[in-house]
A and B are shown apart, each in its own frame.
Chain A
Amino acid sequence: MNEFPQTRNTVAKLPLLAAVVALLGLADAVYLTIHHYTAVPVPCGESFDCGAVLTSQYAEMFGVPIAIFGAIAYFTAFSLATLTAFGNRSMWTLFGIQVTLMMVFTTWLVYLQGFVIEAFCQFCLISAGITLTLFILFLVSKLSRSNQ
């Protein structure tokens, strides 16, 4: 098992932080998944746009709500970060690959909201923020390690 030298103590805590953040993402994705199946229709108003995003054709991929993919992705990220936090460093590389993929997918989703559907959904943006946070945490850990 790998050991973290004392000097890297803060860096060593990043996986733990990432696990907690991924947990938030998981909760958000589970919420969106349930919402997808049970949503009571929200009326469209003059200024805000009801269920445009969550009822759009982009809300599903192969008939499966995007939110389920999100939940699986966050769960995977959480697991990898947890394993890293408990000392399995090699999992951190997998975590890096995972969050990079998530970042790419999230960018695509935000693009869809901004330019194709032309409406945003709050909980989708929260998810985008969480993925970005995970990605930054990973970058920080990499950068601070290569500096030492």
Chain B
Amino acid sequence: MNNKNQTNSGLPLAIIGVVLLAAIVGGWWFYQNSKSQASKPKTNVNQKTDDAAALSRYASAPPGAQPSNMLGSPSAVVTVEEFADFQCPTCAVQHPKMKEIISLYGNRIKFIFRNFPLNQAHPKAYDAAVAAEAAQLQGKYWAMQDQLFTNQQKWATAPDARKLFEEYAQKIGLDVAKFQSDMLGLPAKTRVDADMQRGRALGINGTPTVFINGRQLTFEMFGVESMRQIIDAELQKATNQTQSNQSTIPSAGSTDNSAENK
């Protein structure tokens, strides 16, 4: 052993070099591999065997908060419905992607956001949902939703999250006194509970959960590209349908279930 040490003084350096190279090459290979996997959209939404059952469950589930927190056009043929928890990091990551989809499609889709706080895992999520609904009572749901997601790490780790919610309320121009009393009142909570009830009926056990026209996306489809493919396909389907039965009925809201607009 000692002889070896003397004769092969370059060996340890060679080993170290090989390991460094292996780490870099291995890392690079793994990087490329997982990148291509992440970007590969899996559009097998339509091939689910329990598709019909899932669709009918979607159609018959309780409607959630009325009127729902909606963007886009109420009569759009494609409905994107997201269930999310304000304290869930993945939901915060998903937030800008959903915003991109909303700005891309505008009135061609109906986007609905549902509260689904996972109370066990995220102790402050329910309060945050109530804060968003309290803002909704002053017509500023989306501004508050944006504040909650972008500042998630701040309030989620703060000892008193409500103080921060009030700061956000002030920042987006709410009447803070009304906001404070709405946080305590029943209307905001009732809306959160209604959304949760709908979520549970749909069998949701994690967030974010996204439905496009009643079909639940798997989380590999959460990328903007994947969602675009699905939405485009649904838009195309709707166009084909209206072309084939143009003479009978106007298409608006034909695939829609929930009594959305009020």
In the bound complex, residues from chain B placing their C-beta under 8 Å from that of A52 are 89
The smallest beta-carbon distance between A23 and chain B, in angstroms, is 7
Interface centre among B5, B31, B89, B219 (most CB of A within 10 A): B89
Number of A-B contacts (CB under 8 A): 111
In the bound complex, residues from chain A placing their C-beta under 8 Å from that of B8 are 86
Given contacts A45-B118, A46-B205, A82-B16, contact A38 B35 (CB under 8 A): yes
Q: Is the CB of A44 within 8 A of B207?
A: yes
Given contacts A43-B206, A43-B207, A51-B90, contact A75 B23 (CB under 8 A): yes
The smallest beta-carbon distance between B112 and chain A, in angstroms, is 18
Q: Is the CB of A44 within 8 A of B91?
A: yes
The smallest beta-carbon distance between A35 and chain B, in angstroms, is 8
Interface residues on A, range: 35 or more
User: Which of these, B30, B85, B205, contacts A31 with CB under 8 Å?
Assistant: B30
Q: Is the CB of B27 within 8 A of A44?
A: no
In the bound complex, residues from chain A placing their C-beta under 8 Å from that of B249 are none
The chain B residues found within 8 Å of chain A, CB to CB, are 2, 5-6, 8-9, 11-12, 15-16, 19-20, 23, 26-27, 30-31, 34-35, 37-38, 85, 88-94, 118, 120-122, 153, 157, 205-209, 219-220, 222
The chain A residues found within 8 Å of chain B, CB to CB, are 1, 3-4, 23, 26-27, 30-31, 33-35, 37-52, 55-57, 71, 75, 78-79, 82-83, 85-88, 116-117
